[in-house]
Amino acid sequence: MSFVSFNQKDLAKVLTNCNLISPRKSEIELFTYTKVFIGAESAEFTSINSTIYFNTALQFGRSEIKEKDGLSFLIKTDLISNAVNLISDDMVGLEIDLEKNTLIVQGASSKHTLRTSVQNIDDFVVPQVLEAEIIAKMKVNTQDILEANKVAFTSVGNPKVVYQPEFLNICYTLLKDQNQVIVVSTDRYRMGRTTVSAVFESYNGDEEIPVNFLINPKNIHLIANCVVLEENLEFLFGKDYLTVTVGPNELTMRYGDGKFPDYDKIIPNSFSCSFYVNTKDTLQALKQVYFAARSNVINKNVNITISPTNKKITLVSKTDDGNSSESTINMENYEGVTDDWTQSFNADYLIDYISTVNTDTILWESNPGKPSVLSPAKERERQLCLVSGLR
């Protein structure tokens, strides 16, 4: 029998990440387990499913380990996660008995006895990216890539209504000659694109040709869950897998299916008008008219009227049964056509993107009747969102 103890919050966070990967039920029962290896100074936790593999190490406090080479076992992920979260003490202990196939999760005044297993433990393998298959290694600033991912989440396709696989993924485009990675997604009605500076440690390919990698948004979401204080994240792009290293955490994920379109071609080269709006005011106005727009189940449409002479923008949403909402905001530095013009947009699309903007003002560029481009003030080269209007 062996014993180790962990900080309860640290162990609970590790198991939360395992729980996000390991399904409660699966046709492949192995996926419902987490593999635990107790070593000399730390424990390793590994969870897998068909698209992603998660591995992390956690230092323990007190330990009494009988096996010199460490010990390994499998435990149902949801059971150990729930048991640890029920313990309210600062420290939580794990008492392992491999002969009886039991794991006792214990606090100061409570304990939970769970069944362990070693059956098929050798099949619990995390794929390794072979050196010969490495396409690129790079480091990016943690906050920069998390912001880029956040923007991309707003425009990725909904699997309930979008069927082409490329539109269900987030695309990472590597630009080695510019030391950049572009994070982009589109559902064909909107597109979010952010450029992030990258430091390439190695690159195996033509440096002047952009390379696209499609990644499942659910897997990218796990990256943010693993971040604590890391200044940089390490990305290793292999032939079949992407490995992201976040401190002691390692995520290895399969690439998504499909071929991502040439997104630069859909961005207009010129606009007939442009103006600036206050980010907070615009978001608040959209939320006001959303009161009525949400009743339009299909497209959540809001009519936006631009009045250059008055320097005003009026947002109106109406329902078929006679309800309506209206809000007005100011605009600044208007340039372009002088006549009033009106266009309908999906309120969700605008709210989703504007909610991610960190600048006080937003640049809005448009050709009336065609898609508009929104971007943080003075940061258009770094980030933009293309939003199609409604007919």
The stretch 211-235 carries a mean pLDDT of 89
**Residue where a domain terminates, one of 123, 149, 172:** 123
What confidence score (pLDDT) does residue 296 get?
63
Handedness of CA 211, 212, 213, 217 (dihedral sign): positive
Judgement on whether residues 61 and 47 belong to the same structural domain of the protein: yes
Weakest mean pLDDT among 167-176, 220-229, 306-315: 220-229
The tokens for 237 are 């792009």
**Residue where a domain terminates, one of 81, 99, 123:** 123
**Residue where a domain terminates, one of 69, 100, 123:** 123
Residue 383 has pLDDT above 60, yes or no: yes
CA dist 308 and 134 (Å) reads: 54
Give the rounded percent of residues in the chain with a pLDDT score beyond 90: 75
306 — pLDDT class (breaks 50, 70, 90)? very high
CA dist 172 and 210 (Å) reads: 10
Residue 320 has pLDDT above 80, yes or no: no
Handedness of CA 129, 131, 133, 139 (dihedral sign): positive
CA dist 385 and 191 (Å) reads: 5
Judgement on whether residues 308 and 201 belong to the same structural domain of the protein: no
What confidence score (pLDDT) does residue 283 get?
96
- In sequence order, which ranges of the chain are alpha helices (DSSP H)? 8-21, 77-86, 142-153, 217-226, 279-293, 347-354
369 — pLDDT class (breaks 50, 70, 90)? confident
CATH number at residue 332: 3.10.150.10
CA dist 45 and 67 (Å) reads: 18
Q: DSSP for 343-391, please give it.
A: EEEEHHHHHHHHTT--SSEEEEEE-TTS-EEEEETT-TTTEEEEEPPB-
297 — pLDDT class (breaks 50, 70, 90)? low
What confidence score (pLDDT) does residue 391 get?
57
Residue 298 has pLDDT above 70, yes or no: no
Condensed to tens digits (0 to 9), the pLDDT of residues 76-122 reads: 999 999 999 999 999 999 999 988 999 999 999 999 999 999 998 98
The stretch 278-285 carries a mean pLDDT of 97
- What is the DSSP-derived secondary structure letter of residue 31? G
Judgement on whether residues 71 and 81 belong to the same structural domain of the protein: yes
Residue 57 has pLDDT above 70, yes or no: yes
Q: DSSP for 297-308, please give it.
A: TTT-EEEEEEET
Q: Which amino acid is at 122?
A: D
205 CB-side CA count, 13 A: 20
Handedness of CA 303, 334, 267, 175 (dihedral sign): negative
For the chain, the average pLDDT equals 92
Three-state DSSP at 203 gives strand
Does the pTM surpass 0.85? The reply is yes
Quote the domain boundaries for residue 209.
Answer: 131-265
Which residues face 38 on adjacent strands? 43, 71
CA dist 236 and 184 (Å) reads: 19
Q: Decide: 37 and 116 in contact? Cβ < 8 Å.
A: no
Which of 172, 176, 182 lies closest to 207, judged by CA? 176
Judgement on whether residues 82 and 150 belong to the same structural domain of the protein: no
Instruction: Give the alpha-carbon dihedral of 163, 165, 170, 175, to 10 degrees.
Output: -140
Within its chain, how far is the Cα of 31 from the centroid? 22
Judgement on whether residues 113 and 169 belong to the same structural domain of the protein: no
Judgement on whether residues 258 and 176 belong to the same structural domain of the protein: yes
Condensed to tens digits (0 to 9), the pLDDT of residues 114-169 reads: 999 999 898 888 787 788 889 999 999 999 999 999 999 999 998 888 889 999 99
Judgement on whether residues 72 and 182 belong to the same structural domain of the protein: no
Judgement on whether residues 209 and 243 belong to the same structural domain of the protein: yes
- What is the DSSP-derived secondary structure letter of residue 167? G
Weakest mean pLDDT among 51-65, 283-297, 340-354, 362-376: 283-297
Counting every residue written for the chain, the total comes to 391
What confidence score (pLDDT) does residue 299 get?
64
What confidence score (pLDDT) does residue 55 get?
94
The tokens for 40 are 């000399």
Q: How many domains does the chain have?
A: 3
Which of 120, 117, 122 lies closest to 100, judged by CA? 117
The tokens for 236 are 């290793």
